[in-house]
Structure 1
């Protein structure tokens, strides 16, 4: 009788072990790393392709393509118009990804429409980090070369009504984490200190040209660390 009981117990143990081994791996919860989606905003006379290098860098550092979005827009129009376009775009990214917030990484004039979105269109509720790279935050004397032709460029002139309103009060509103990276030999942002933002983490990256700022590897590493 005892031998029979042992045989039955052994058989049941073997069956239970086989069942456990056959359970699908999906029953074990996976905790994959995830990030806020990043929305990249280009500047004057440019398009989304200006971010190709950094998008590749972010992918190499663990971001998926479904977490990286670069918008293209009509840069000749007012930054107010672009801010509205950006607002719609960000809502579509949030809807597509299921995320509650995005990180905004912007270059040059892209800082103006993005900051208008944050200040005037409720953007602070949907943005976690804001990164300005060579942003024309307080205007540039170079804008006089094209201000007569494009509304967007005229708005970049120091003292313009657009910039006066944008920079009145709090330059870094909401609970967003702000950073501004600027070069001390940027020929497109004159004076160079115009790129700084009151209340932000302001970083002088050294002597890097305006068009190289959002392609440079050392600047990328600092931006990645700030967002991370």
Structure 2
């Protein structure tokens, strides 16, 4: 082998090694978050979630994974639960997600719990949130009429059936927030559920839960699994 060939040999070997080395794999894109389905309370609608949904978007949730659903609040919570089941099935089909997270305010806790307990929802909901929910009834419901108000009254047939047995069934992760300053939920202890992570919020009025920044951060950490248990 002549001298010029010997001098070029290291460069040739380096080039061959470079070609043979496999390209570094690109880092995997993070999985998108679970879709969030918001369920409002009595005499309200999906716009009640504008502030909280905006905070989720600012924290990286795509707009198509945030669903501010509106339903007729005078109907039975069992009827609403069946409608919620259809909404969640549509969300899962459109996003390809395996499960959703459900965030509720006030009476929205009751229809969503009915869905989880009686309509197979525990298999489709990863994390569930109750903000100021009358889970064991509220005396304030004696001042309004209609089927859903009757169901919210302490000791109603609807609540007795809903709270019989396991209050937090299935693999779903349950969490509730309540406040001693919430005059609509009476008694305040109505909100807490056996088997859930139950948190006392600061002094908040009933409608302030969906807009409070501190509550939002705790809700976000619960649905992502970042909150300590």
TM-score by length of 2: 0.87
**Once the two structures are superposed, what CA deviation does each residue of 1:114-150 show, in whole Å capped at 9, x if it has no partner?**
0000000000000111110001101101101113xx1
Query: Are 1:107 and 2:95 matched, yes or no?
Result: no
Tell me the distance in 2 between the aligned counterparts of 1:206 and 1:29. 41
Aligned to 1:227: 223
1:69 aligns with 2:28: no
- Secondary structure class of the residue paired with 2:102: strand
What are the Cα deviations for residues 153-206 of structure 1, in whole angstroms up to 9, with x where unaligned?
Answer: 111011110001000111000011110100111111001111111111110112
- The Cα shift of 1:67 comes to 1.6
Partner of 2:78: 80
Residue 203 of structure 1 is matched in structure 2 by 199
CA distance in 1 between counterparts of 2:32 and 2:100 reads 12
Cα distance in 1 between the residues matched to 2:61 and 2:131: 20
CA distance in 1, matches of 2:31, 2:97: 14
Match of 2:175 in 1: 179
Count of aligned positions: 222
Correspondence for 2:132 = 134
Distance 1:5 1:40 in 2: 73
1:28: Cα distance to partner?
Answer: 3.9
Provide the C-alpha distance between the structure 1 equivalents of 2:85 and 2:7, rounded to a whole number of angstroms. Answer: 71
CA–CA separation in structure 2 for the residues paired with 1:161 and 1:141: 15
* Divergent runs of 4+, >6 A: 4-7
In structure 1, the partner of 2:123 is 125
Note the C-alpha offset of 1:76.
1.0
Q: TM-score, normalised by structure 1?
A: 0.88
Aligned to 1:38: 36
Using the TM superposition, give the Cα deviation of residue 4 of structure 1 relative to its aligned residue in structure 2, in angstroms. Answer: 8.0
Please tell me whether residue 159 in structure 1 is matched to residue 155 in structure 2: yes
Aligned residue among 185, 190, 206 for 1:189: 185
Aligned CA-pair RMSD: 2.4
2:95 aligned residue (94, 97, 111)? 97
Displacement, 1:64? Answer: 1.1
SS at match of 1:90: helix
- Provide the C-alpha distance between the structure 1 equivalents of 2:61 and 2:217, rounded to a whole number of angstroms: 14
Kindly tell me: are residues 67 and 159 of structure 1, through their superposed partners in 2, closer, same or farther at Cα, counting changes over 3 Å? same
Q: How far apart, CA to CA, are the structure 2 residues paired with 1:91 and 1:30?
A: 28
3-state SS of paired residue (1:155): helix
Tell me what 2:210 maps to: 214
SS of match in other structure, 1:158: coil
